[in-house]
Amino acid sequence: MALYCVISPGGSPGATTTALGLALTWPGSVLLAECDPAGRRVLPGFMANRMNESAGPGLLGLAMAADTRANSPVPLEEYVVPITDDDRVELLHGLRDPRHGSLLKHLWHGLAAAAVARDGDVIADLGRVGGSDTPTELLRAAHAVVMVLKPTLQQVDAARPRLEALEELLGDRAPVGLCLIADGSYGPAEVERVLGVPVLRELPYAPSEARVLSDGARRRVTFRTSMLMQSLGSLGRKIKSTAAMRSDAVPALEGAAL
């Protein structure tokens, strides 16, 4: 189905938290792929108390399989584990040891193809973009790209060149939108004007709910219905509809070669 990339300008604004929250509130089946070369967070965080058995080798195992089975499709489904009991949300957990980062660069092309070919959607957390280890193959295959940032001068300053580079990379291929974590002095309209990229949604600054997602903190009974989770659900619907509008408008780009 579709591949959606979540990125950040650096400075840990909440990209992984947002990607996980999106997956948990996503309309339909979805795989969260932790593709940030900086390392995995979900397994030792949100899932720390929920894994009854080994989560397998995740992204590293997939990279090694892709290496040894060159020219055959990447066996993505063999390396995912369920996040929720109903298997609706799955995880491809990321690298634990950043020394293995160099193994990933041969994986991205095949992973992008496997992501768009699978039955459910894929949300890929790429982390901070702009470095030499950014998985550009995933960005080029994405149906939409969402940059998570805080509305601060530092974040906007860091976001600008990265969004320019993204525009050069993507052209009209896929829409790019912003998700603001409401912890800064600028409003959505100002950020949108300065960066020239639409704000899809502002998420509330909600540290205790966010820590459930980022650190596996204990949930309060109101977690599922919290403003943060509701906003994440609404962001997910917005991302899907933005991508659908673009693919209706530019049908020739659907399935374009990577």
Ligand X SMILES: Nc1ncnc2c1ncn2[C@@H]1O[C@H](COP(=O)(O)OP(=O)(O)OP(=O)(O)O)[C@@H](O)[C@H]1O
Give the shortest CB-197-to-Mg ion separation in angstroms: 20
Interface pattern 162-201 for ligand X (x via CB under 6 A): -------------------x--------------------
Strand residue runs (E) in the chain? 3-8, 30-34, 81-82, 89-92, 121-128, 144-149, 176-181, 199-203
Determine if 134 is a binding residue for Mg ion (CB under 5 A): no
The CB density around residue 67, as the number of other CB atoms within 10 Å, is 12
Among 3, 7, 8, 92, binds ligand X (CB under 6 A): 8
Among 3, 4, 13, 16, binds Mg ion (CB under 5 A): 16
Among 12, 102, 230, 241, binds ligand X (CB under 6 A): 12
**Exposure string over 35-62, b if 16+ CB within 10 A, otherwise e:** bbbbebbbbebbbeeeeeeebeebbbeb
Q: Is the dihedral of CA 22, 24, 30, 36 positive or negative?
A: positive
Tokens, residue 102? 């160099």
Taking alpha carbons only, the member of 113, 199, 89 closest to residue 149 is 199
Q: Of 114-133, which residues contact Mg ion (CB under 5 A)?
A: 127
Give the shortest CB-63-to-ligand X separation in angstroms: 19
Instruction: Name which of 6 and 114 has its Cβ closer to ligand X.
Output: 6
The residue ranges that bind ligand X (CB under 6 A) are: 8, 12-17, 36, 38, 41, 127-128, 181, 203, 205-207, 210-211, 214, 228
The residue ranges that bind Mg ion (CB under 5 A) are: 15-16, 127
